[in-house]
């Protein structure tokens, strides 16, 4: 794996700075777990019956970013990246995907999410979460997405170790 270029979150920052930094740290962790691998290695699945792969996680987290930022705060009707039926499992099928395709979609959604967060006057900004049919705050969206990354980066640790034995951070 490449060197660790992640920026550590602040030890004492505002609520917003802390949430932003931890989310960016986890985004960078996912990218780091995928660094230096070929498309074939990124598509390597965990043990049966699971079809989970690192590339599938990148695709899934692009969907998560879209569902919690674009769809909540900009366009409730925006389709997901890989599913017209709001099926988050569809993103896990990376059997025909490439690094460039998956990372381009993920990076675009991350940048859009960052823009939405930066432009919001407050963490109290509310948007409509169409899956739940209720209003949610930007604070809640940031925390939810942060938890998604934390969960899936644990999967990424195990997947990476299975691909080439690399462990850590």
pLDDT digits 0-9 by tens, 68-81:
999 999 999 999 88
Once rounded to an integer, what is the mean pLDDT over residues 144-160?
96
Question: In whole angstroms, what separates CA 88 from the centre of its chain?
Answer: 12
Compute the distance between CA of residue 42 and CA of residue 102 in angstroms, rounded to an integer.
10
Distance CA 91, CA 83 (A): 7
The whole-model pTM stands at: 0.93
Q: Is 60 exceeded by the pLDDT of residue 1?
A: no
Three-state secondary-structure class, residue 137: strand
- Determine the pLDDT at residue 2: 57
The predicted structure's pLDDT at residue 113: 98
Say how far apart CA 29 and CA 32 lie, in whole Å. 5
pLDDT tens sequence across 6-55 = 888 889 999 999 999 999 999 999 999 999 999 999 999 988 888 899 99
Q: Which residues contact 102 (CB under 8 A, 6 or more apart)?
A: 42, 55, 58, 59, 62, 94
pLDDT in tens, 81-110: 887 777 667 777 888 899 999 999 999 999
Query: Would you state the pLDDT for residue 4?
Result: 84
C-alpha distances in Å from residue 65, one per residue of 59, 60, 84? 10, 9, 16
CATH fold for the domain made of 38-164 = 1.20.120
H or E segment at 133?
none
**DSSP H helical ranges for the chain:** 15-34, 39-43, 54-65, 71-73, 99-119, 138-164
For 133-151, what is the mean pLDDT? 97
The whole-angstrom distance between residue 109's C-alpha and the CA centroid of its chain comes to 9
């Amino acid at each position: 794996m490449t060197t660790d270029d992640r920026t550590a979150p602040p030890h004492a920052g505002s609520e917003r700075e802390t949430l932003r930094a931890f989310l960016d740290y986890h985004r960078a962790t996912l990218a780091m777990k995928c660094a230096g691998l070929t498309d074939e290695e990124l598509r390597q699945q965990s043990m049966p019956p699971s079809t989970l792969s690192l590339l599938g996680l990148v695709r899934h987290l692009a969907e998560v970013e879209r569902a919690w930022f674009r769809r909540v705060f900009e366009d409730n009707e925006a389709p997901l990246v890989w599913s017209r039926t709001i099926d988050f499992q569809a993103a896990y099928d990376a059997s025909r995907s490439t690094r460039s395709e998956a990372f381009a979609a993920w990076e675009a959604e991350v940048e859009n999410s960052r823009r939405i967060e930066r432009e919001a006057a407050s963490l109290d900004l509310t948007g409509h979460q169409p899956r739940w049919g209720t209003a949610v705050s930007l604070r809640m969206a940031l925390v939810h997405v942060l938890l998604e990354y934390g969960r899936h980066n644990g999967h990424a640790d195990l997947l990476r170790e299975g691909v080439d034995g690399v462990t850590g951070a």
